[in-house]
Structure 1
Amino acid sequence: MQVELRHLRAFVAVARELNFTRAAERMHLAQQALSTQIQRLEKSLGTDLFVRTTRRVELTAAGELLLAEVAPLLESLDAAFERTRRAGQEGGLSIAYTPTVAPEALPAGANRMHREYPTITLRTAEMWQPESVEGVRSGRLDVCFIRTRAGTGDLATAVVRQEPLGIVLGDGHPLGRRPVVRIDRLGDTYLTIWPRAMSPGYFDAVCEAFRAAGYTGPVREYENHTRDTWFGDTVARMEIASGRAFSVGFRSQPLTDGFVWRELDPAPSVPLTVCWREPANTTLRLFLDVVHAVAREERWLTDTP
Structure 2
Amino acid sequence: MEIRHLRYFVAVADAAGFTRAAEQLGMATSPLSRRIRELEKELGAELFVRDYHRVSLTPAGERLLVPARDVVERFDALPALVPPQQPQGLIVVGTAPEVSPDLRSRFTTLVREQQPGLRVRHRPGSTAPLLRAVVKGEVDLAFVHGLVEEPGLSVVPVESQPLRVVVAAGTGFDERESLELTELAHLPYTFLRATSAPYVAQIADSLLSRYGVSGRLPVPTGHADLVPMVSAGEAFTICGARFGATRNAFLGEPVLMLPFDDGRLRLVTSAVWRTGHAPGSLAALVAALATLPKGNR
1:4-50 per-residue CA deviation (whole Å, 9 max, x = no partner) reads xxxxxxxxxxxxxxxxxxxxxxxxxxxxxxxxxxxxxxxxxxxxxxx
Moved more, 116-125 or 215-224: 116-125
The structure 2 residue matched to 1:276, chosen from 273, 276, 289, is 273
Higher-Rg structure is 1
Q: Which amino acid letter does the alignment assign opposite residue 260 of structure 1?
A: L
Q: Secondary structure at the match of 2:139?
A: coil
Residues 93 and 283 in structure 1, CA contact (< 8 A), matched pair in contact too: no
State percent identity of aligned pairs.
14
1:250-287 per-residue CA deviation (whole Å, 9 max, x = no partner) reads 11223421233221122423322211013222221232
Q: Aligned partners of 1:218, 1:104: CA distance in 2, in Å? A: 35
Q: Secondary structure at the match of 1:179?
A: coil
Q: Aligned partners of 1:151, 1:119: CA distance in 2, in Å? A: 32
Q: Which amino acid letter does the alignment assign opposite residue 171 of structure 2?
A: H
5 Å-filtered alignment, 1:1-305, equals 91-212=89-210, 214-225=211-222, 230=223, 232-233=224-225, 236-253=226-243, 254=248, 255-258=250-253, 259-267=255-263, 268-279=265-276, 280-294=278-292, 297-298=293-294, 303=297
Moved more, 254-263 or 198-207: 254-263
1:177-235 per-residue CA deviation (whole Å, 9 max, x = no partner) reads 312121111122111112111111010111212222x232411112213xxxx2x32xx
Q: What TM-score, normalized to structure 1?
A: 0.60
Matched length: 202
Deviation at 1:167, TM superposition (A): 1.1
Deviation at 1:115, TM superposition (A): 4.3
**Structure 2 CA distance for partners of 1:219 and 1:104, relative to 1, 3 Å:** farther
**Structure 2 CA distance for partners of 1:281 and 1:112, relative to 1, 3 Å:** closer
Residues 189 and 213 in structure 2, CA contact (< 8 A), matched pair in contact too: no
**Structure 2 CA distance for partners of 1:245 and 1:278, relative to 1, 3 Å:** same
Quote the RMSD (CA, aligned, Å). Answer: 2.2
Deviation at 1:103, TM superposition (A): 4.1
Residues 172 and 241 in structure 1, CA contact (< 8 A), matched pair in contact too: no
Q: What TM-score, normalized to structure 2?
A: 0.61
Deviation at 1:130, TM superposition (A): 2.3
Q: Aligned partners of 1:208, 1:162: CA distance in 2, in Å? A: 19
Q: Which amino acid letter does the alignment assign opposite residue 256 of structure 2?
A: V
Q: Which amino acid letter does the alignment assign opposite residue 287 of structure 2?
A: D
Q: Secondary structure at the match of 1:165?
A: strand
Q: Which amino acid letter does the alignment assign opposite residue 273 of structure 1?
A: S
Q: Secondary structure at the match of 1:181?
A: coil
Q: Which amino acid letter does the alignment assign opposite residue 262 of structure 2?
A: P
Deviation at 1:158, TM superposition (A): 1.8
Q: Which amino acid letter does the alignment assign opposite residue 182 of structure 1?
A: E
Q: Which amino acid letter does the alignment assign opposite residue 112 of structure 2?
A: H
Residues 148 and 155 in structure 2, CA contact (< 8 A), matched pair in contact too: no
Q: Secondary structure at the match of 2:260?
A: strand
Residues 167 and 247 in structure 1, CA contact (< 8 A), matched pair in contact too: yes
1:144-202 per-residue CA deviation (whole Å, 9 max, x = no partner) reads 12223241111111222343211122333322431212111112211111211111101
Q: Secondary structure at the match of 2:242?
A: coil
Q: Which amino acid letter does the alignment assign opposite residue 237 of structure 2?
A: S
Moved more, 258-267 or 134-143: 258-267
Q: Secondary structure at the match of 2:130?
A: helix
**Structure 2 CA distance for partners of 1:108 and 1:252, relative to 1, 3 Å:** farther
**Structure 2 CA distance for partners of 1:190 and 1:104, relative to 1, 3 Å:** farther
Q: Aligned partners of 1:121, 1:290: CA distance in 2, in Å? A: 18
